[in-house]
Structure 1
């Protein structure tokens, strides 16, 4: 990956379908998400690579392993990592390990980093049905911290299950960013990304990130024109080195996101940090 030639690094994209057509979510949850985001395509990982390559961007790619809570088989982490390796000029593999898997999950996480070059891990507490500060997840966090790669947590409301009776069983409370504060305390060297503007807990996310120096915020999942003013203010000042561009592709395209971001009152010296520089440093990608 030639970082110098990239115009942006999108730290939040989803592998929604495997090479053999297996979806990352059940039909019910996927349908609710598509309706919430007013429809979107489901590109394969090679198609994602072509999309980002055309735009001279790189993208972090992951799926969500929530087999325990949903009963739906995941897309294999190995497939995600191998597909990203085949397009290493533009794709960066993250993995997702269901924290309910205990020691087996810890072994898998270590193997994925050592043998497949995985660069981070994605958690979705609401879909996985576990609060981030549940001690059952701590052995997994310990391994991730030891391996020196970041952990990315979905925070705030989710479109997954939205509109279904009972929200499809998805509990929003698990995605309050304040629940990640304990993780940041108990694993002080773990790099943590709070994904999304954290509606309705934006102030909580800002409090955690300003208090804990290794907590970052990615801006995915929302159109920038809807960003709350306090998020823009902190991105411009106290958190200018720890805010990251993320789109939530394919739900939101980077084209749309960047066009709307251009219209925000972001300082000229801060804009390149958010769009690319902060991700380069966090992910250890390096630049000449």
Structure 2
């Protein structure tokens, strides 16, 4: 990856269909999420499709799925191995993350180690609400030990989610799991673990800012919201005390980088801070030069 040739690094994109399937509009859950994001008709993207999309826009992207087997009863599709293998074919613009449901226990820990050592994944995505666990549950700690031991990154969904939004009972998903304050314990117990708090953390934005301020290896990504809706305190801290710890993320395909960047251009982020958020902070975090 030639970091100097890129305009931005999107640290939050979702792979939602396998290369072995036919891309389409998606199921009812996917459509409900698109409604939540007011995204209109949204396609599901394979890894090669994401690579082509971001290459055309002179950007790099982190790609992942979400393993929520415990709650959903369904295996992640496409699987971590496919995402990693396909991303390796497009390493000029893609960085693979994996996802392992902490409820998988010892088998999940073995899978995580194999994904790192054999497939070259660079981090792991956790979605506490979709996976049904508190991040500081000791059940997940063996997974964190593997991730931290390899010097990689754990990215946690925080705050409200589009998953299950608008469906009866929110699809059975519980928002309480995604309070970023639970991740403060993880940052204490794994001080070498690089952590990203994904999204403006409504309704716990102040908690997220506090954790990122207090713990040196905790970052915040700005995905999942149009920047025009960012809380004032998030903009304030991105401009000042957290200027080196805030990262561009879109939540593609629900929010496109074009939509995000167009709105980002209109908010009061200082000119010298914008390149840090769009590329510099992520490049440093992932050792991209």
How far apart are the structure 1 equivalents of 2:28 and 2:6? Answer: 37
Q: Which residue of 1 aligns with 2:155?
A: 152
TM-superposition CA deviations, 1:218-268 (whole Å, max 9, x none): 000000000000000000111100000000000000011111111111112
Q: Which residue of 2 aligns with 1:130?
A: 133
What's the offset of the Cα at 1:278? 0.5
Q: Which residue of 1 aligns with 2:276?
A: 273
8 A Cα contact 1:194 1:215, kept in partner:
yes
The alignment's TM-score, normalised by the length of structure 1, stands at 0.96
How far apart are the structure 1 equivalents of 2:27 and 2:283? Answer: 36
Q: Which residue of 2 aligns with 1:66?
A: 68
* Secondary structure in structure 2 of the residue aligned to 1:204: helix
CA RMSD of aligned residues (A): 1.3
Q: Which residue of 1 aligns with 2:50?
A: 48
After TM superposition, list the pairs within 5 Å mapping 1:79-158 onto structure 2.
79-158=82-161
Q: Which residue of 1 aligns with 2:197?
A: 194
Query: 1:249 and 2:252 equivalent?
Result: yes
* Secondary structure in structure 2 of the residue aligned to 1:4: helix
What's the offset of the Cα at 1:32? 2.0
Q: Which residue of 2 aligns with 1:57?
A: 59
Residue of structure 1 aligned with 2:206, choices 170, 191, 203: 203
How far apart are the structure 2 equivalents of 1:147 and 1:214? Answer: 15
* Secondary structure in structure 1 of the residue aligned to 2:233: helix
What's the offset of the Cα at 1:62? 0.3
Unaligned 5+ segments in structure 2 are none
What's the offset of the Cα at 1:206? 0.4
What's the offset of the Cα at 1:22? 8.4
8 A Cα contact 1:5 1:56, kept in partner:
yes
Task: Tell me: CA distance 1:71–1:22, structure 2 relative to 1, closer, same or farther (3 Å).
Answer: farther
What's the offset of the Cα at 1:31? 2.9
How far apart are the structure 2 equivalents of 1:179 and 1:32? Answer: 28
Q: Which moved more, 1:214-223 or 1:158-167?
A: 158-167
Q: Which residue of 2 aligns with 1:285?
A: 288
How far apart are the structure 1 equivalents of 2:284 and 2:109? Answer: 26
Q: Which residue of 1 aligns with 2:8?
A: 8
Q: Which residue of 1 aligns with 2:168?
A: 165
* Secondary structure in structure 2 of the residue aligned to 1:80: helix
8 A Cα contact 1:131 1:174, kept in partner:
yes
How far apart are the structure 2 equivalents of 1:114 and 1:22? Answer: 30
How far apart are the structure 1 equivalents of 2:109 and 2:75? Answer: 19
Moved over 4 A (4+): none
Query: 1:232 and 2:235 equivalent?
Result: yes
How far apart are the structure 2 equivalents of 1:172 and 1:265? Answer: 30
What's the offset of the Cα at 1:72? 1.3
8 A Cα contact 1:106 1:139, kept in partner:
yes
Q: Which residue of 2 aligns with 1:21?
A: 21
8 A Cα contact 1:28 1:161, kept in partner:
no
Unaligned 5+ segments in structure 1 are none
Q: Which residue of 2 aligns with 1:223?
A: 226
